[in-house]
Structure 1
Amino acid sequence: MRLFIIVVALFAIIGCDSPNPRAFGYDTTRLSIEGSDFTVRSNGEVAEAIRTDFAPRREHERILLRAVVAIEVATGCRVDQTTVKGDPALVAARIDCDTS
């Protein structure tokens, strides 16, 4: 039973900030935007922002906007608004670093 609890706790910790498998090796930046904590990973063409803190349901609508800002701040690039996809936990988008 103890081993089971340890394994479950380990998976919970590992899963909190794990990137999309395609994002392994991308540049990583951790930052806070308006009280929301994010880990942003990017390769110069695409980026993803993983929220790493708790957010009450009433904040979920604003999380997407904060995640887009986090991507732009972390990468120094403009987010292509037509490619933004995700949920309150993870947001992904294409970035344009030529016009930043």
Structure 2
Amino acid sequence: MARFLPYLNLLILVACGAPSMGVIGGQSERVTVGDYVFEVNFKGSRAEAYRTNTLWAPKARQVFAAGATAMEQVTGCHVVRSSVRGDVALVQADLLC
């Protein structure tokens, strides 16, 4: 069991940066908004922004606003503000294109 633990950890780490089911096969782009760096993945009317930089105790409200702005910059679509959800690491939203 102990010899499989490093492989399990690697699998978990790889999965952390993978897009969710709704945006797999879509486009991806890195963008900076203020103090935040995001990897934005989008497909159709769905988008998600992974915050990739390290900050001490970022405020959720600021991360959500920056993530929504990042999605709009990358996709050229408007973010449905009432659909913004997630946490300080991953922001998801629906798009109006």
TM-score with structure 1 setting the length: 0.80
> Structure 1's 72 and 15: CA in aligned 2 closer, same or farther, altered over 3 A?
same
Gaps of 5+ in 1: none
Q: Cα RMSD over matched residues?
A: 1.8
Percent identity between the two aligned chains: 29
Residues 1:77 and 2:74 aligned together: no
> Structure 1's 12 and 55: CA in aligned 2 closer, same or farther, altered over 3 A?
farther
In 1, Cα distance between equivalents of 2:67 and 2:36: 9
Deviations 1:47-67 (A, max 9, x none): 111111222214333111110
Name the structure 1 match of 2:41. Answer: 41
Opposite residue 75 of structure 1, the aligned amino acid is T
Maintained 8 Å contact 2:40/2:49: yes
> Structure 1's 58 and 92: CA in aligned 2 closer, same or farther, altered over 3 A?
closer
> Structure 1's 37 and 58: CA in aligned 2 closer, same or farther, altered over 3 A?
closer
In 1, Cα distance between equivalents of 2:8 and 2:94: 35
Name the structure 1 match of 2:22. Answer: 22
In 1, Cα distance between equivalents of 2:28 and 2:46: 12
The offset of 1:69, in angstroms, is 0.5
DSSP-derived class of the 1:57 partner: coil
Deviations 1:36-57 (A, max 9, x none): 1111111131111111122221
Maintained 8 Å contact 2:23/2:46: no
Maintained 8 Å contact 2:58/2:88: no
Deviations 1:41-98 (A, max 9, x none): 111311111111222214333111110001000101111111111111111111111x
TM-score with structure 2 setting the length: 0.82
Name the structure 2 match of 1:65. Answer: 65
The number of equivalent residue pairs is 96
